[in-house]
Structure 1
Amino acid sequence: MAKSLIKLLLIFVCLYGYAQQNLTYQKPSKEILELADADLAPGVQIDSKGEHMVLLYRNQYKSIEELSETELRLAGLRINPVTNIGSRTNYYTNLKVKQVKDKEAKQVKGLPDNARLSNFSWSPDESLIACLNTTPKGVEVWIVNIENANAYKISNANVNANMRSTINWFKDNKHLLVKMLPNDRKELINTATAVPSGPTVSVSNGAKAQNRTYQDLLKTPNDEFNFEQLARSEIKKLSINGEITDFLDADMYRGISFSPDGNYIMVTKIKRPFSYLVTYSRFPSESNIYDLNGKFVKTVNNVPLDEVRPKGFMATRTGKRSMQWRSDKPATIVWAEALDKGDPEVKVDYRDVVYQLDAPFNGQPKEILKTKQRFSGIRWGNDNIAIAFDYWWNTRNLKTYLFNPTTAEAKIISDRNYQDVYSDPGDFVSSKNKYGSYTLTINGDNLYLMGDGYSKEGQFPFIDEYNIKTGKTKRLYKSKYTDKLESLNFAIDMKKGDILVRIESKTDYPNYYIRNIKKNKLTAITDFDNPFKSLESVDKRVINYKRNDGLDLEGTLYLPLDYKEGEKYPMILWAYPREYKDKASASQSTANPNEFVYPYWGSPIYWVTKGYVVLDDAAFPIVGEGNKEPNDTFITQLVANAKAAIDAVDNLGYIDPNKVAVGGHSYGAFMTANLLSHSNLFAAGIARSGAYNRTLTPFGFQSEERSYWEAPEIYNTMSPFMNADKIKTPLLLIHGVADNNSGTYPLQSERYFNALKGLGAPVRLVMLPKESHGYRAKESIMHMLWEQDQWLEKHVKNKK
């Protein structure tokens, strides 16, 4: 026994006793590995008629070899310049198809060897699917015939998928518009070895450009050159038989969209000058309309460089924005413009105005709607009926308008706090119209709404009928399950009453069904097995408790698989803070005990197999009512949330309150570090991919829109880095070396670790090569789980 103990201690000394360690990738214990390495069920796509289904299979993880492929990070994009597609693209490796009514799916024949499929796009008649296949040399276009379950290639590996909107169908179901590599592309500059021709100079003309701390920005003229070469495409017309004809000459094309009738094409291209402050979506752009032969019709929008905006989350640029096709008309463009100069500080009766312009786009734009807040979208119906939305972040308000596009008459039919989930009326149901576009499902004077159904009593999804004349709703269906969760995916046919639903329980893997709400009939269309058999017996429940100020909180509690009544267990508390403007919304329950127990890569649920109680998704609301902002009392509320959670589980008799770990990812990591700085509640912490010094994000972060210079005390108080001297609790820091999330630079963890190490805190920093904000490689994830397991075993379960 003594020898074993000495050996164990030596292992921990080897693991944690030195400043740097050259570890190879490790794997977690058998119990965790069995869950983390399980084969998942396929993804599902169903046509709009509910007749055919495509099953998409993929590996759960990428490999570290895949993440190590060549990658350029330019203007907010991550591109593989060899294959010319996003370097972090998710790929599917196999496809099966079946008629929904059939039991067995048919294997799609003719797929490429070592398939890496992406960008799936149904043809207008839904008989074919176009997709991309990425080979070691480049990207090809493939066609999948749904009826005969056959796939074939229609292009060589010369597709340019760097700027998205890569493949678009013509209405004839026989041709596509495809972005191809231009013949005149120049060789890219190797920025690591290129000899500079001079310094990089940035200039401010005095205008305030208060932008978030974006990553992957352009930094040098060489970056500009490479970005332009990678963004340039020739647009070709490609038949499903592989015939190619020229359509548009090479340019930096971004978006491509057909008019609903298919007779016009709106193409948006990027222009210079580029920016070193913002991503490519805010570079200058030009939107032009062409006919089906590629003949220029009209320039409909010119957008200048969008670096400088007024202050605030609700600020926007001036000029035409959100330009799109009106989906219920043959060829009408619609856009919004700010009436307040894009400045939320300007007092106006209406913030935005919406215009439309019919083909051939030579007339005067027609005003069809004004919104009191910032315009956020329209659900089109017909010439007399449409639904529009606006919102205002500062008040968390969402307004819904019923308006007449012909007369511009509008009335507000819903005016609510969008964080108040109990009052959510649901989303308006849509269906395909004669143009193949989705528009409101209208039955006489009635529209339909489909909602998640959160309430004090639990979650019961519903379908309502809304009468546009009376403004009254009638409930057509309400899920009655108390031991399962039914999710309403979409309405296949409201007249018949056919709805695609997904049903799951704690132990039943989510499967798809067609529910007929008129005949009360349920028909199964998939039968996926539970890949996590070892968790079938886990005790899962939602617990409710109160914070010291009376605020209602909740969390999803899991007991260890080997739980014995009366014993005290260590606990892992996992959470993510969320900001609210009122206590009523913050206290609402959205956890459902009937959700399937799914241990995704970043989940803490694995540790129920290792003798831990897990409190997952514990409520951590940060509330700022009236003139107060949530962050004004961030630390106080954070600690109160944590103490309430620990006390609640301790009062149930399950845990040793001296053996509780706290963890989180991103803003949850920020939470973790702050809790260890400002409380003595925890035995250890796990913080993944967080930001710890808010002075490095000086123009706002998360839901904080004040700058550092407006609220320095907030930035300093909320920064774990500034309070590093207070930490005595062991902290495991994990970060992806290639993190692309705004504000969570890898530097954040590196500098925080140096501060903690310099102050003598027990801390371990794990930098995962090639990983971004969310981890992808199997090797990285397995090693991350191993690190967390080692840390918890030493500092929590076996805490002295």
Structure 2
Amino acid sequence: MKHFLTFFLLCFVITGYAQENLMYQKPHKNILELAEAPLAPIIRMDSKGEHIVLLYRSSYKTIEELSETELRLGGLRINPVTNIGSRTRYYNDVKLSSKKDGTPKIISGLEADGRYANFSWSPNQEYMTFTKTLNTGVELWLLDIKNGEAKKISEANLNANMGNPVTWFKDSNAVLVKILPGNRKALINTKEAVPTGPTVSVSEAGVKAQNRTYQDLLKNKNDEHNFEQLSLSELHKITLDGKATLWKKADMYRGVSFSPDGNYIMITTIKKPFSYLVPYHRFPSESVVYTATGDLVKSVLEVPLIEDLPKGFMAERTGKRDFDWRSDKPATLYWVEALDGGDPANEVPFRDEVFQQDAPFNGKVTSLLKTKDRFRGITWGDDNIAIAYDNWWNTRNTRTYVFNPSNSNVAPKVLFDRNYQDRYNDPGKFVSTKNQFNEYVLDLNKNTAYLIGDGYSEAGKFPFVDELNLNTQKTKRLYQSKLTDKVESISTALDAKAGEFIVRIESKNEYPNYYIRNIKKRNGLKPLTQFENPFKSLQNVKKEVISYKRADGLDLSGTLYLPTDYEAGKKYPMIMWAYPREYKDKNSAAQSTSSSNEFTYPYYGSPIYWVTRGYVVLDDAAFPIIGEGDEQPNDTFRTQLVANAKAAIDAVDDLGYIDRERVAVGGHSYGAFMTANLLAHSNLFAAGIARSGAYNRTLTPFGFQSEERNYWEAPEIYNAMSPFMHADKMKTPLLLIHGEADNNSGTYPLQSERYFNALKGLGAPVRLVMLPRESHGYAAKESILHMLWEQDQWLEKYVKNKNATDTAD
């Protein structure tokens, strides 16, 4: 009785007040040990596999870092003191190794615990530039790969507000760098500035602008001023010894790219007017070509403000778009133009046409090919062979064409015409290699190309290398992995003709490492890295991919983990984590790309931590939402959602592992939206965890996720799918977590705040945790450890000890 009274009072303290003055907490030691495990480095390898740059970073930022000054303007988040993106993920150490000696070596001249970012190989791959952020600004550094030395080559005056501020000259002897202008005007403190008038937005009759609910947009003239000043840069040429010369005066430079031969450079600048409706990448812009010495050649593209695209995911603006250099030619520009007015609703035989023009860009414009659906890119080969791609969202279809760029009279051949969600029949990606311009082009052996595929099938993942004759379209399999107790992935080709590839191999308790595999040799496997498993407490956890069927017969799957202290015959609580995905056919929806041999990696948002706390975990449970033919997936969203959940619980219950009365469900973003819907429309769960979700679809009226219809076209869908509209049905405890600085389209923090208010007003058991400074994905160590503590406390109270909670209530 004494214990019961203590538990009852604890429940009252936790739930009886509207707010809690709570400091950051840390989770149970079992979870904390995994959360604080060090990360293995990220690797950057040269194209020959000879040199490896190892980038080390902490798993987290600190709350102090997230609390630095931040301005949110035009879709950007900027630190105006340091002039770099305020959410930049930094590396704190850099080392070098080689395929001859895989031991990481310290780089001379480089200090540990720095804030390094924006790593970029030189065209000849003998050097690498990177930035170092100080408290006062951003410096440019140069890494000499061969000598293992690093040095600073600029002062802390770079402008990295719009991404990497550095572009290499093609001779690898200098870089073009965005530098803060000396005459930049002072920024306006928008919180202290006295308004001079109202902010007025205007819509002309009949002009539709059905835009998604973007965040961090410009709001007024003060924002416009600050955005302009923070975007302004001078372009300086800096040689490898640090000598800097002014190359172009201050402007709002957005993109910089050299022609393959290095004789020309295309520069894109942002123009006015700015917009309060769309991010900066839809502001007006101009692309101008100069010589490498800075002389004007030609303005090749002017793009107006883009606020009013046609409706649909496949909508495009009219006119020239997607300007880029042909990587197989010295200096040839190509671009695309819509043939359907950019409107997916228009029925036309071809959607897009690709054109090209040689330097100096005043001669004949040549048509290269037309694509049946929306153009998506080209892999250039030589004068006679190139590969083009298109796709169409509404049908989930993609085509791969081979065409002759020197003769548009020869009709392109369709190599592949397929559903891109069909992973089991994916032919793979074409192998590329560097040409004389140090640009990547199609790796050709006369008329033969190479493909690297993931090799997903019902039996598992067995990656392959194929040889494809582009004339006969016949393939020959050169290699397929035979590993059954591990998972192999083919990362890239070092030399496809010689049979050398970089592969990654892992198992459920063996950390992923990289190797050189020669597919022409029986034992042709040489290790490149030797990373150790930092998550020892999980290496013996029982893990399997389970398959089961939905009530309508659809095949589903999920990755099942048993508790680290599992005892046969005992019934455990379970947490299920998932994310809904839309499909246009049942065959693709039923495919599984999970493997029980994949390394068990508990990233910050993972539910896997809870195997150490006595829970069964079903991770990545399949939640397909299917709409075949004219039916849209969301037409039956709730029905399919509940059917997916019931099938998963039934499957694990049939294995005898769980107490189905003690099952929780959780998800992040659209998974949070899923969680709230499941709790409102089923009685399958004891509790839920919803992180950074959207719960009222009338707040995203011009589409969301994969829904193209606007609210006025399908109000019943928007209302039926919105958990907010069904808050009166909620009786199941729900933990809401949200970053108060969420930047994701549609998932405003307001979504969680209003949903919490609705649930609280209707008497539902709910807890709202707003994480200061956090965006859509969480970054600060303090925030993430506290989030794990919140989830652990919630699961312990409402799931593991559900019966005690019910009694106390």
Whether the 8 Å CA contact 1:179–1:233 is kept in 2: the answer is yes
- Per-residue CA deviations over 1:461-493 (Å, capped at 9, x if unaligned) read 101000011110000010111111101000011
User: Where does structure 1 lack aligned partners over 5 or more consecutive residues?
Assistant: none
1:473 corresponds to:
475
- 2:704 aligned residue (701, 706, 718): 701
Whether the 8 Å CA contact 1:260–1:330 is kept in 2: the answer is yes
Question: What are the residue-to-residue correspondences of 1:593-672 with 2, within 5 Å?
Answer: 593-672=596-675
2:430 corresponds to:
428
Report deviation, 1:763: 0.1
Residue aligned with 1:600, SS = coil
Residue aligned with 2:511, SS = coil
Whether the 8 Å CA contact 2:544–2:561 is kept in 1: the answer is yes
How far apart, in 1, do the equivalents of 2:102 and 2:178 lie? 38
Report deviation, 1:701: 0.2
Bigger shift: residues 8-17 or 29-38: 8-17
Residue aligned with 1:510, SS = strand
1:295 corresponds to:
295
1:582 corresponds to:
585
Question: What are the residue-to-residue correspondences of 1:315-464 with 2, within 5 Å?
Answer: 315-408=315-408, 409=410, 410-464=412-466
- 2:778 aligned residue (772, 775, 780): 775
How far apart, in 2, do the equivalents of 1:218 and 1:589 lie? 43
2:223 corresponds to:
223
State the TM-score, normalized to the length of structure 2. 0.98
Report deviation, 1:411: 1.2
How far apart, in 1, do the equivalents of 2:540 and 2:112 lie? 40
How far apart, in 1, do the equivalents of 2:403 and 2:415 lie? 10
Report deviation, 1:13: 3.1
Q: Match of 2:639, as an amino acid?
A: T
2:806 corresponds to:
none
- Per-residue CA deviations over 1:670-714 (Å, capped at 9, x if unaligned) read 000000000000000000000000000000000000000000000
Report deviation, 1:388: 0.3
Bigger shift: residues 94-103 or 598-607: 94-103
1:90 corresponds to:
89
Residue aligned with 2:182, SS = coil
Q: Match of 1:259, as an amino acid?
A: S
Bigger shift: residues 470-479 or 94-103: 94-103
- Per-residue CA deviations over 1:155-205 (Å, capped at 9, x if unaligned) read 000000011241011122220000000111000000011001000000001
1:679 corresponds to:
682
How far apart, in 2, do the equivalents of 1:114 and 1:476 lie? 45
Report deviation, 1:112: 4.2
Residue aligned with 1:272, SS = coil
Q: Match of 1:98, as an amino acid?
A: S
Whether the 8 Å CA contact 1:581–1:625 is kept in 2: the answer is yes
Question: What are the residue-to-residue correspondences of 1:22-33 with 2, within 5 Å?
Answer: 22-33=21-32
Report deviation, 1:10: 3.7
Residue aligned with 2:802, SS = coil
1:147 aligns with 2:150: no
How far apart, in 1, do the equivalents of 2:495 and 2:593 lie? 29
Report deviation, 1:7: 4.0
Q: Match of 2:243, as an amino acid?
A: E
How far apart, in 1, do the equivalents of 2:223 and 2:601 lie? 41
1:732 aligns with 2:731: no
Root-mean-square deviation over aligned CA pairs: 0.9
2:807 corresponds to:
none
How far apart, in 2, do the equivalents of 1:319 and 1:158 lie? 37
2:792 corresponds to:
789
- Per-residue CA deviations over 1:108-156 (Å, capped at 9, x if unaligned) read 1211464110000111111111000000000000001111211100000
Count the aligned residue pairs. Answer: 799
Whether the 8 Å CA contact 1:96–1:108 is kept in 2: the answer is yes
2:80 corresponds to:
81
User: Where does structure 2 lack aligned partners over 5 or more consecutive residues?
Assistant: 804-809
2:488 corresponds to:
486
Q: Match of 2:160, as an amino acid?
A: A
Report deviation, 1:105: 1.9
Whether the 8 Å CA contact 1:164–1:255 is kept in 2: the answer is no
Bigger shift: residues 257-266 or 166-175: 166-175
Residue aligned with 1:669, SS = helix
2:506 corresponds to:
504
1:187 corresponds to:
186
Q: Match of 2:85, as an amino acid?
A: G
Whether the 8 Å CA contact 2:428–2:451 is kept in 1: the answer is yes
How far apart, in 2, do the equivalents of 1:690 and 1:24 lie? 24
Report deviation, 1:228: 0.3
Residue aligned with 1:795, SS = helix
How far apart, in 1, do the equivalents of 2:429 and 2:77 lie? 34
- 2:723 aligned residue (716, 720, 743): 720
1:164 aligns with 2:166: no
1:551 aligns with 2:554: yes
Residue aligned with 2:445, SS = coil
1:43 corresponds to:
42
Residue aligned with 1:126, SS = coil
How far apart, in 1, do the equivalents of 2:613 and 2:572 lie? 10
How far apart, in 1, do the equivalents of 2:287 and 2:233 lie? 16
State the TM-score, normalized to the length of structure 1. 0.99
Residue aligned with 2:117, SS = strand
Whether the 8 Å CA contact 1:64–1:777 is kept in 2: the answer is yes
Bigger shift: residues 329-338 or 156-165: 156-165
Q: Match of 1:735, as an amino acid?
A: H
2:282 corresponds to:
282
Whether the 8 Å CA contact 2:93–2:111 is kept in 1: the answer is no
How far apart, in 1, do the equivalents of 2:475 and 2:247 lie? 49
Q: Match of 1:365, as an amino acid?
A: V
1:18 corresponds to:
17
Q: Match of 1:534, as an amino acid?
A: S
Report deviation, 1:347: 1.3
Query: Which structure 1 residue ranges, 4+ long, deviate > 6 Å from structure 2?
Result: none
How far apart, in 1, do the equivalents of 2:385 and 2:285 lie? 32
Whether the 8 Å CA contact 1:165–1:254 is kept in 2: the answer is no
Residue aligned with 1:658, SS = strand
Q: Match of 1:173, as an amino acid?
A: S
1:124 aligns with 2:123: yes
Report deviation, 1:293: 1.1
Residue aligned with 1:151, SS = strand
Report deviation, 1:364: 2.4
1:104 corresponds to:
103
Report deviation, 1:391: 0.4
Whether the 8 Å CA contact 2:558–2:618 is kept in 1: the answer is yes
